Amino acid sequence: MTRVFYFCKMKEVDYIIVGCGLAGISFNELCIQYNKTCVVFEDHSQNSTEIAGGLYNPVVLKRFSEVWKAKEQLEQAYPFYHSLEKKLNHKFFHEIPLYRRLNSIEEQNNWHVATDKSNLQNYLNSKLEELNNPELFAPFKFGKVNQTGYCDTQLLKQLYLAYLNQNQILQNKSFDYNQLQITKEQVTYQDIKAKKIIFAEGFGVQKNPFFNNLPLDGTKGELLLIESSELQISQIINSSIFILPIGKNKYKVGATYNWKDKTTNTTKEAREELETNLKELIKCEYRIIEHYAGVRPTVRDRKPLVGKHYLYGNIYIINGLGTRGVMFAPFLAHQLYNYIENNIPLDKEIDIQRIYKKIL
């Protein structure tokens, strides 16, 4: 009897990317821009990108202070998302103003102090506004924040996965860490050889044996999708919660913060909290259409986790984007790409070496 042997030809690429949330999408796009080849793994085990509010905002509205490297983040974000809209032939990045409801005379004074700071003058309007909407309760008026808006992250991910699939870049399945073989020159996974591997798994990194010792502590968030024909707002309203208009009298309302529960199950307690805060902000009737829950990838020191594994020179991570993924993702992807390909050092505040110095 003649035996026939079949040899599976190895696919060779520059990068394997595990995870296709905002971080994975951003890094993959850079690779395409610079003619690097990739394979992307996505198993849909993490839903934070799909259910996120998707807001971007350069100001920390609790303290009226600038978000870390806000200017640099926005300079990366605007061209990145506009380019993706053109590429995918869909609108999902929306530039609309945000109005912070002020809750006291003291907050009004703090707002005016903040508008005089040189690093905030491009973002905060000094003149307070009323909005003249009878359905909003705001006796101390609103402060307007510029260079804000939202990204429909659910639509973006849906479109991008379709693009990856069409171009035979997507592996629609889970990544098995046990099958990853590592040498000094490359990594091999099943029938794929790559020069480098990037883990962009969000909260799923907790199961990753290469990076599960990093201090990523997911924070559960819950949101509501409501409908109201009376509300009629076209701006993002921020108070103890946000109200985000997404068209056709529909609004996202969020979000809660739970540091103990790591499930994606919606809860009665969170819904009641959101509704209580909503009723303190609006006067009109509304209908709840959906209730979402997800786990944000947050870090204890509130800075992302980016960089190279302490032991393996071709294994990298981009994670910990928290609540600011829309702004962070393109910026961090550029940081990581330049670090790998151009030997440009990472910012010390995001480099995972800050963690390894403490735990190793």
pLDDT in tens, the chain (360 residues): 444 444 457 899 999 999 999 999 999 999 999 999 999 999 988 888 888 899 999 999 999 999 999 999 999 999 999 999 999 999 999 999 999 999 999 999 999 999 999 999 999 999 999 999 999 999 999 999 999 999 999 999 999 999 999 999 999 999 999 999 999 999 999 999 999 999 999 999 999 999 999 999 899 999 999 999 999 999 999 999 999 999 999 999 999 999 999 999 999 999 999 999 999 999 999 999 999 999 999 998 889 999 999 999 999 999 999 999 999 999 999 999 999 999 999 999 999 999 999 887
Q: How would you class 173 by CB atoms within 10 Å of its CB: exposed for 0-12, middle for 13-18, buried for 19 or more? A: exposed
Q: Which amino acid is at 213?
A: N
State the pLDDT at residue 27: 98
Is residue 255 reached through a cis peptide bond, with omega within 30 degrees of 0 on the bond before it?
A: yes
- Please tell me the distance from the alpha carbon of residue 160 to that of residue 190, in angstroms, as a whole number: 24
Contact between residue 160 and residue 88 where contact means Cβ atoms under 8 Å apart: yes
The b/e string for 242-269 (b: 16+ C-beta within 10 A; e otherwise) is bbbbeeeebbbbbbbebeebeebeebee
Pairing of strands 55-56, 149-151: antiparallel
Same fold for the pair 11-51+154-215+300-359 and 98-145+219-296? no
- Please tell me the distance from the alpha carbon of residue 278 to that of residue 223, in angstroms, as a whole number: 12
- Please tell me the distance from the alpha carbon of residue 96 to that of residue 344, in angstroms, as a whole number: 34
State the pLDDT at residue 30: 97
Q: What is the CATH number of domain 98-145+219-296?
A: 3.30.9.10
State the pLDDT at residue 4: 44
Residue-range domain boundaries for the chain: 11-51+154-215+300-359, 98-145+219-296
Contact between residue 337 and residue 344 where contact means Cβ atoms under 8 Å apart: no
- Please tell me the distance from the alpha carbon of residue 300 to that of residue 253, in angstroms, as a whole number: 25
Tokens 């993002």, residue located: 236
**Helical spans, DSSP H, in the chain:** 22-33, 48-51, 70-88, 105-115, 153-166, 268-279, 325-342, 353-359
**What is the token pair recorded at 160?**
């991008």
Integer CA distances (angstroms), 145 to 64, 82, 237, in order: 10, 21, 10
> What is the fold of 11-51+154-215+300-359?
FAD/NAD(P)-binding domain (3.50.50)
Q: Which amino acid is at 103?
A: N
State the pLDDT at residue 36: 98
User: Given CA atoms 283, 284, 288, 289 in this order, what sign does their dihedral have?
Assistant: negative
The model carries a pTM of: 0.94
Radius of gyration of the chain (CA): 22
- Please tell me the distance from the alpha carbon of residue 337 to that of residue 333, in angstroms, as a whole number: 6
Pairing of strands 170-171, 38-41: parallel
- Give residue 245's Cα distance to chain centre: 19
- Please tell me the distance from the alpha carbon of residue 255 to that of residue 241, in angstroms, as a whole number: 6
State the pLDDT at residue 2: 45
- Please tell me the distance from the alpha carbon of residue 159 to that of residue 165, in angstroms, as a whole number: 10
